[in-house]
A and B are shown apart, each in its own frame.
Chain A
Amino acid sequence: MSKLKVATVWLDGCSGCHMSFLDMDERLLELAEKIDIVYSPIVDRKDYPDEVDLALVEGAVASVDDEAKIKKIRAHTKFLIAMGDCAITGNVPSMRNPIGPQAILDRAYIENATLQQQIPTVLVPKLLTVVRPIHEFVKVDLHLPGCPPSANTFYTVLTALLAGETPDISALTRFGA
């Protein structure tokens, strides 16, 4: 049997979910016998592959870039997992929602900058007015809450999915876990 093609994606999050994923440690070797990581921040591949079996998406949708990415990911992925609270609720990135992106940009690039006070307009994607969870843009097949979900949670869920079972998410993790 060919290995399952797995992607991990980093949108507006802190990469903590990816760190926790890596915290599976030696169990990653066991998983590597069954899966291939075909796209990830830790894999040197620039474009999202045409056919991915399973994608773990970290982070909320906060910019036009994120929005385009999540739509492309959904179109080329069979099973999409929202990984962690940012992807599911907006979490910390969404804390700017009540005050809007301009206030954040001003604070970061004008008020707190001592040199070259200017808001970047080239090379960085435009921020959306509101940071939103990924299921508000695309269909999500499984929500895996946690900030971040623990390595044990990742391992239990992935091994269950590989065995064709449906994991009981609420028995494993919760918002803010």
Chain B
Amino acid sequence: MSAATDIKTLVINGQDVSARPDQTILDVARENGINIPTLCHLDGLTDVGACRLCLIEVKGQNKLFPACVTRVEEGMEVTTESERLAKHRRTILELLFAERNHICAVCVANGNCELQSLSQELGLTHVRLPYRNPELNVDASHERFTCDHNRCILCTRCVRVCAEIEGAHVWDVMGRGADCKVITDLETPWGDKNSSCTKCGKCVQVCPTGALYEKGKVGIEKPKHPEFLPYLNLMREAQ
């Protein structure tokens, strides 16, 4: 098969684009300067389609598709912006805010938070759903980092970066529904003397909110740097 036949052509927002068959709609859209909002996606990590913010419409299909885990198909007609999508995306953000205790004003990530900035970008000025106000703990047992479950949106970036990039798999997810939470090891304190944490801090850098942060460094003075990931992957592939 020649290289040319491997190229898929599709339409995104009326714009003709071409893609490799292994690309997702999100990849192709961003390559072509079309922004689709995401929270759980991070360049350099496996996609899991957890947050559903990247939902898009495909012509001829009633259901919506998460762009980060949907492969391109020949002749696809994709819409990334519509009233319906905007409504769903705002509702997703509202659900995230209502689910836990996101108090932006006193959060360590205030001004450096992807949940906060996406809300502004998508025009969310209030949450119509009642807040759940769960009682959640803060694990500050680690010598360098803190985990505040009040701010966690369960994107699982920490789980993936620890397993896929660091290779330690300290983080995982336990519980179902409202009881779902990220844990270190077998739900033992992060700073436990037998912890398998390598203290690399990758999880902290990729966390989109104030759920994971470096002690003593907050907000504006400590923006996170998830951009190290694609670079790290590139360097590893080159070896």
Q: Which residues of A contact B (CB under 8 A)?
A: 82, 85, 88-92, 94-95, 97-99, 130, 132-133, 135-136, 140, 143-145, 147, 169-170, 174-176
Contact residue among A85, A90, A97, A174 (Cβ-Cβ distance under 8 Å from B120): A174
**Residue in A97, A140, A170, A176 whose beta carbon sits within 8 Å of that of B131 in the complex:** A97
A147–B104 CB distance below 8 A: yes
**Interface SS, A side:** mixed
**22 sampled A-B residue pairs with Cβ under 8 A:** A88-B125, A88-B126, A89-B104, A89-B126, A89-B127, A91-B104, A94-B133, A97-B101, A98-B135, A98-B136, A143-B125, A144-B125, A147-B104, A169-B123, A169-B125, A170-B121, A170-B124, A174-B116, A174-B119, A174-B120, A175-B119, A176-B105
B133 and A97 contact, CB distance less than 8 A: yes
- Neighbouring A residues of B119 by C-beta, 8 Å: 174-175
- Whether A95 and B125, one on each chain, are in contact in the complex, defined by CB atoms closer than 8 angstroms, is no
A144 to chain B minimum Cβ distance, whole angstroms, is: 8
Q: Is B46 an interface residue (CB 8 A)?
A: no
Cβ-defined contact, B126 with A145, below 8 A: yes
Which residues of A are found within 8 Å of B126, using beta-carbon distances? 82, 88-89, 133, 135, 140, 143, 145
Q: Which of A89, A132, A140 contacts B97 (CB 8 A)?
A: A89
Q: Is the CB of A92 within 8 A of B105?
A: yes
Whether A94 contacts B116 by the Cβ 8 Å rule is no
Provide the residues of chain A in CB contact with B133, threshold 8 Å: 94, 97-98, 130
Beyond the given A97-B131, A132-B131, could you list 20 further A-B residue pairs with CB under 8 A, ordered by the A residue number?
A85-B104, A88-B126, A89-B103, A89-B126, A89-B127, A91-B105, A92-B103, A94-B103, A94-B131, A97-B101, A98-B134, A98-B135, A98-B136, A145-B126, A147-B105, A169-B125, A170-B121, A170-B125, A175-B105, A176-B110
A74 to B125, CA, bound (A): 20
Shortest 6 CB-CB contacts between residues of A and residues of B: A176-B104, A147-B105, A97-B133, A98-B135, A174-B120, A143-B125
Count of A-B contacts judged by CB separation below 8 Å: 75
Contact A170 B120 (CB under 8 A): yes
Q: Judge whether B180 is part of the interface by a CB distance below 8 angstroms.
A: no
Residues of B close to A133: CB separation below 8 A: 126-127
Shortest distance from the beta carbon of A174 to any chain B beta carbon, whole Å: 4
Asked if B226 CB lies within 8 Å of chain A CBs, one says no
B111: Cβ under 8 A from any A Cβ: yes
Q: Which residues of B contact A (CB under 8 A)?
A: 97, 101-107, 110-111, 116-117, 119-128, 130-131, 133-136
Shortest Cβ distance from B130 into A: residue? A136
CB-CB under 8 A for A95 and B130, given A169-B125, A175-B116: no
- Nearest-CB residue, chain B, relative to A175: B104
Q: Which residues of B contact A170 (CB under 8 A)?
A: 120-125
- Which residue of the partner chain B has the closest CB to A142? B125
With the chains together, A132 CA to B104 CA distance in Å?
A: 16
The closest CB in chain A to the CB of B98 belongs to A89
Determine if A145 and B125 form an interchain contact, defined as CB atoms under 8 angstroms apart.
yes
* A10 CA / B230 CA spacing, docked (Å): 49
Question: How distant is the Cα of A145 from the Cα of B133 in the complex, in angstroms?
Answer: 20
**Minimum Cβ distance to chain A for residue B208 (Å):** 15
Question: Chain A residues with Cβ under 8 A from B120's Cβ?
Answer: 170, 174-175
B90 to chain A, nearest CB (A): 11
Q: How far is the CB of B1 from the nearest CB of chain A, in Å?
A: 48
Using CB atoms, name the residue of chain A closest to B120.
Answer: A174
A97 to B101, CA, bound (A): 9
Which B residues are in CB contact (< 8 Å) with A132? 130-131
Contact at A174–B123, with CB atoms within 8 Å?
no
- Which residues of chain B come closer than 8 Å to A89, judged between CB atoms? 97, 103-104, 126-127, 131
